[in-house]
Amino acid sequence: MCGATKGGLSLDGVNVAKEAVIQGQVLRDGEPVESAYVRLLDRTGEFTAEVPTSATGHFRFFAGDGEWTLRTLAPKAETVDRTVVARTGVVAEVEIAI
Amino acid sequence: MSRESALVSTQWVEDNLDTDGIVVVEVDEDTTSYDKGHIRGAVKLDWTTELQDQVRRDFVNKQQFEELLSRKGISNDDLVLLYGGNNNWFAAYAFWYFTLYGHTNVKLVDGGRKKWELESRELTNEVPERAATQYVAQEQDRSIRAFRDDAVAAIGVQNLVDVRSPDEYAGRLLAPAHLPQEQAQRAGHVPTSINVPWSKNVNDDGTFKSDEDLKALYADAGIDDSKDTIALCRIGERSSLTWFVLKELLGHQNVKNYDGSWTEYGSLVGVPVALGDEPGEA
């Protein structure tokens, strides 16, 4: 089977070959954070998209080729920025500790 | 119209949850988020099933809107406080919708659901029971709604503000990056439209930027105050947020939201389309 790496979101139903997927999980002390917000910023720092994390702390974006920044906001936590490179046909998995 | 008449803070909402004549309404892009917890007493509006006609691509009509609000227990003289996820995208869309049908006693909760959550305020799973009302709507206020012919006629003539992300505007993406990209329509933007992403209106926590910052944003972007304005995006919800900023916060006159937006325009046969980061020629 192609797709999901260990601990990652299932990619069932996603045409991975045509998408530049960025996905991952937000963790606090190793535990999933379900009330966080992950913002996707483009190479110029411009906001592109935002998703709330799921009950298991997961998030996913369908981006384009290039470098992106993930900005994570959560209650009672400092904002965390992480850069990630996305490529069509590749699933970029990111774990974010807050 | 001003910040005072169009916005309330999350604290104000918390302080007024038990005030008669105030109805808090959640409208979310993710229509399941209400069911995962919501502000106490809040009513849910599902934009996909309750605000859209289920056959044609259009809004519910006046009679359907009346039936909807009556069923939800909302009265004509209630103050409606709208909030939602994704920086109030769909709450702003609902604000525009309420305004379209003549309900002027409506405000947005500044920061919406995100700010409420980030402040660790209370969410409940209890669904309120409200007695049905006899809501009466006005005819649609067409002065705030643009159709495709208005958008085409505005090329090179009016302010066209495309509020999608720069990559969608340029034609590098067809949808916001949290949605799959496969779509039928062509990529790009309406020639002469300027790109002011909706996200520039708000801070990271979802609250609106100051009036000074917003004025500077649109002045720098090249909005001509002497001209009418049409805001558009992909399906008309992000542009509702920009419509709200221009009309309700900054007090611009003659601002319309084009709810057909790019999913309609980008599918039209024979209309001009511009690609790349520049507005392009008329």
pLDDT recorded at residue A68? 96
Per the listing, tokens 């384009």 go with A64
In chain B (282 residues long), the average pLDDT of successive 10-residue segments reads 91 97 94 92 94 91 96 98 92 96 97 95 96 97 97 97 92 80 82 95 95 96 93 94 96 95 94 96 90
CA–CA separation, A73 and A82 (whole Å): 12
CA–CA separation, B260 and A13 (whole Å): 28
- Considering only the beta carbons, identify the residue of A19, A35, A39 that sits closest to B180: A19
A55 burial class (0-12, 13-18, 19+ CB within 10 angstroms)? exposed
pLDDT recorded at residue A39? 95
pLDDT recorded at residue A10? 81
Query: Smallest CA–CA separation between B137 and chain A, in Å?
Result: 34
- How many residue pairs bridge chain A and chain B with CB atoms within 8 Å of each other? 71
pLDDT recorded at residue B177? 75
What fold characterizes domain B143-265?
Answer: Oxidized Rhodanese; domain 1 (3.40.250)
Residue A66 included in any domain: yes
Residue A33 included in any domain: yes
pLDDT recorded at residue A7? 53
Q: Where in chain B is the domain with CATH 3.40.250.10?
A: 3-140, 143-265
Per the listing, tokens 């944003």 go with B217
Hey, what amino acid is at B40? Answer: R
CATH classification of the domain holding A27: 2.60.40.10
Beta strands in B12-102 (DSSP E): 22-27, 43-45, 79-83
Q: Which of B258, B235, B244 is nearest to B106 (CA)?
A: B244
Residue A36 included in any domain: yes
pLDDT recorded at residue B172? 86
* A60 to B204: CB separation less than 8 angstroms, yes or no: no
| B205 interfaces chain A, CB cutoff of 8 Å | yes
Residues of chain B found within 8 Å of residue A47, distances taken between Cβ atoms: 165, 197, 199-200
- Considering only the beta carbons, identify the residue of A50, A55, A79 that sits closest to B86: A50
pLDDT recorded at residue A72? 97
**Mutation for testing the B interface, residue in A35, A39, A60 having most B CBs under 10 Å:** A35
Domain membership of residue A37 as a residue range: 19-97
| Rounded alpha-carbon distances, angstroms, from residue A46 to A9, A49, B166, B172, B200 | 26, 10, 8, 15, 8
Hey, what amino acid is at B82? Answer: L
Query: Under DSSP, is residue B252 helix (H, G, I), strand (E, B) or coil?
Result: coil
Residue A32 included in any domain: yes
CA–CA separation, B74 and B134 (whole Å): 8
Residue A87 included in any domain: yes
A65 alpha carbon, distance to own chain's centre: 15
**Mutation for testing the B interface, residue in A38, A39, A51 having most B CBs under 10 Å:** A51
CA–CA separation, B74 and B23 (whole Å): 7
Question: How many residues are present in chain B?
Answer: 282
B73 burial class (0-12, 13-18, 19+ CB within 10 angstroms)? middle
* B120 to A75: CB separation less than 8 angstroms, yes or no: yes
- The ranges of chain A with pLDDT < 50 are 1-6
Hey, what amino acid is at B121? Answer: R
CATH of B3-140, one of 2.60.40.10, 3.30.470.20, 3.40.250.10, 3.40.640.10: 3.40.250.10
Residue A14 included in any domain: no
Q: Which residue of the set B233, B241, B245, B250 is catalytic? A: B233
Catalytic residue check, B233: yes
| Rounded alpha-carbon distances, angstroms, from residue B78 to B19, B126, B187 | 11, 21, 42
Q: Which of B1, B87, B6, B91 is nearest to B42 (CA)?
A: B91
Spell out a b/e string for B142-174, using b for 16 or more CB atoms within 10 Å of the CB, else e: eebbbeeebbeebbeebbbbbbbbbbbbbbbbb
Residue A2 included in any domain: no
Cβ count near B117 (within 10 Å): 23
Minimal-distance CA residue of chain B relative to A50? B86
- Considering only the beta carbons, identify the residue of A19, A42, A74 that sits closest to B181: A19
How many domains is chain A partitioned into structurally? 1
Q: Which of B108, B73, B53 is nearest to B249 (CA)?
A: B108
Q: Is the pTM here over 0.80, yes or no?
A: yes
Residues of chain A found within 8 Å of residue B162, distances taken between Cβ atoms: none
